[in-house]
Amino acid sequence: MTIPKRERTTSTIVLPAERIPQLRTFAEAEGITITGLIERWINAEIAAERLPDILPNFEVTAVEGRVWVTVKGFSFPTMTPAQAEQIANALLEIAEAKETASKKAVFGAGKDEISFEVARKGRGILISGEDVQTERVMKASLTPGMARDLARIIRNEAARAAKHLIEE
């Protein structure tokens, strides 16, 4: 009997025990979690252009006036720049929400319908998509910082797509 491998959604970073109190003290002084602190460092490296502005497993691309979003291999229908902005706004709104909240966007109709939902789950965020025709479902967990990063990436690609429409 073969047991299927379970996809890891988190990873462990091993540090000497002496570094943990230092990280906690630094994070508390900043009013954030250790995860938030690490995300801040990553964003500083992106801003300094030492890291690309991407979020692994979340592909966002502008092509010929449209925006393509693929999350963990699940492709949403191409979006107009305005629809992509709607998704970015929903991600930001839920990332800033302190209580349970959710937003849903639907693309297509009938058998071609695909939904994109963003919801608060504890301190994290859950995004999900469902393709009615194929019955494929995608769920991905993000930190609020990752949701803000994804919103920024989607907005940047939406601006590129909109620029292409203006140039035509």
The DSSP annotation for 7-42 comes to: PPS-------TTHHHHHHHHHHHHTS-HHHHHHHHH
pLDDT, one tens digit for every residue, the chain (168 residues): 555 555 656 788 899 999 999 999 999 999 999 999 999 999 999 999 999 999 999 999 999 899 999 998 888 888 889 989 989 998 999 998 877 778 877 766 666 677 888 998 888 899 998 877 777 888 999 999 999 999 999 999 999 999 876 765
